[in-house]
Amino acid sequence: MSLRTLFTMSMRNLGSRRTRVILTMLAIVYSVALMVTLETMTYGFKVAITSEVENILPTDLMVYSQSVSIPEEVAQVIARLPHVSYVVPAIILGTVQVNGQAVTLIGIPSQYFSYFEVHMENGSMPASDGEAIIQDTLASEGNVSIGDTIYAQVLTGVQGSTQIIPLKVTGTFSSILGGFLGFHLNMIVTTIGTLQDDLGDAGFINAIFIKLSQENPTYLNQLATALSEYFPNADVYEQSSVLGSISNALSMVNLFFVVIIALSLIVTGLSVANTAIMNVRERTREIGILKALGASNRQVIIIFLLEVIIMSIVGSALGIVLGIGGAYLARYIMIKINVPIIIPVILLPTLYLYSLLIAVATSIVASVPSLISITRIRPMEVLRIE
């Protein structure tokens, strides 16, 4: 018999057992859809987190301390080092209150406002010392308008004293540093000179952002080690290290998803195995007749194998479509419940191919016992019993 004849027989047999075939295909659809949805969301989450980290730490190296005063001259010295593209000194104070409300006060050189990705809503950037922009949430909650003067009280900090810093509001912004993880903290951004003057230390900074001119891991590690030794009480962050830690955490999450997917594939395999066994048992007479008419074991096995492959391919195709839809649905739900990070849905053709191959392979393996049993069926014995 030709392959076309065998395929036609397989399709006919599938059509005569629609209910069982549909139930088996649903198991395949479920496992493939689950695989596609979870892996798509994991990949999208990794892409989103990586992007967010690059926003919050848009440099190769960051030095930050809540308790150590870093001389601004250090930033100037680092800027003159080889392989260093630019250095941004900054002041970040998290122990500040405005009208009894906790805020984060940030001071940066005016020429680097764009570097921190400040997204303005109204007004303009500070043009001189004593001016500031505030987060729109803080403006709304505190009923603060452009042109008003607010008083930031530094309760504790590297200076060890309480200071009242008057700031004239020139504008409001919705986010800073790309809105890292949906940052909606009450933030105030002013010039670094304003904070240095009001805190009484013209050379005070507590954060340094360092960007290399080209990727050089060895030099970066040497610089990070030197800064850690020079400022033992300060934290030195490498963007690559942060991304590596996040990647490891996501790998653990993905491992958990893989276990869930594996369990669903086992259930799918059992469903396919049950269907294949039932088909062979119910069609023992048909198998005997085919063999009596001259069909070989290989040809009969191909008929049943084609049925399994057709079910797995069709089920996988539907599962891939539903899996992509599931990823979009999950993203929509996350947006609706205001999850602070938007996960992109990225189409992954390689994932779909792997899902298809895994589903087909699982189905074939699950049907092996029933296919082997076909070789043990003897035409004369079957026909004699019938």
- The domain total for the chain is 2
- Do 41 and 93 fall into the same domain? no
- Do 223 and 283 fall into the same domain? no
- Do 196 and 275 fall into the same domain? no
Region 260-285 average pLDDT: 87
Rounded to whole angstroms, the Cα distance separating 121 from 116 reads 15
User: Is the model's pLDDT at 42 over the cut of 80?
Assistant: yes
- Do 252 and 157 fall into the same domain? no
Note the pLDDT tens digit of each residue in 276-285: 888 888 877 8
Rounded to whole angstroms, the Cα distance separating 191 from 196 reads 9
User: Which two three-digit tokens encode residue 83?
Assistant: 């392989």
Which residue, 233, 258, 277, sits at the end of a domain? Answer: 233
- Do 82 and 48 fall into the same domain? no
The band of 372, judged by pLDDT with boundaries at 50, 70 and 90, is: confident
Which residues have C-beta within 8 Å of that of residue 251, sequence separation ≥ 6? none
Which residue, 233, 266, 294, sits at the end of a domain? Answer: 233
- Do 199 and 177 fall into the same domain? yes
User: Which two three-digit tokens encode residue 165?
Assistant: 């810093």
- Give a three-class secondary structure readout of 355-384: HHHHHHHHHHHHHHHHHHHHHCCCHHHHHH
Domain of 265 in residue numbering reads as 3-53+244-385
The answer to the question of residue 26 being in a domain is yes
- Do 131 and 157 fall into the same domain? yes
Specify the DSSP element, H or E, that contains 205. strand 204-205
Note the pLDDT tens digit of each residue in 225-253: 888 888 887 888 777 676 676 777 777 88
- Do 252 and 341 fall into the same domain? yes
For residue 123, the cross-strand partners are 171
